[in-house]
Amino acid sequence: MTQPTPLDIWNFKVSETAQNRLRELLDRNREGSLSENETAELDSYEELDRLMRMLKIRAYSKIQPLAS
């Protein structure tokens, strides 16, 4: 298995299914109706989002000099 390139990381988008699930969890969280498992699931999505933002920042810093 090959490592993703910085451009692969920069262009990464989560699946539509995952986006829909996240929207559902966020809506239910606003309503105050998340179960304990759903709260843990939402926390996992938030942690993954932080990780991806960090990876995208690193990827961008590697891509940017190539554009100059």
Q: Which pLDDT score, from 0 to 100, does residue 65 have?
A: 78
For tokens 């891509």, the residue is: 63
Contact (CB, 8 A) for 34 and 42: yes
Prediction pTM value: 0.81
What's the CA gap between 27 and 60, in Å, rounded? Answer: 31
Residue-wise pLDDT for 7-64, tens only, equals 999 999 999 999 999 999 999 999 999 999 999 999 999 999 999 999 999 999 999 8
Residue 68 has pLDDT above 70, yes or no: no
Q: 6 is written with which tokens?
A: 């910085």
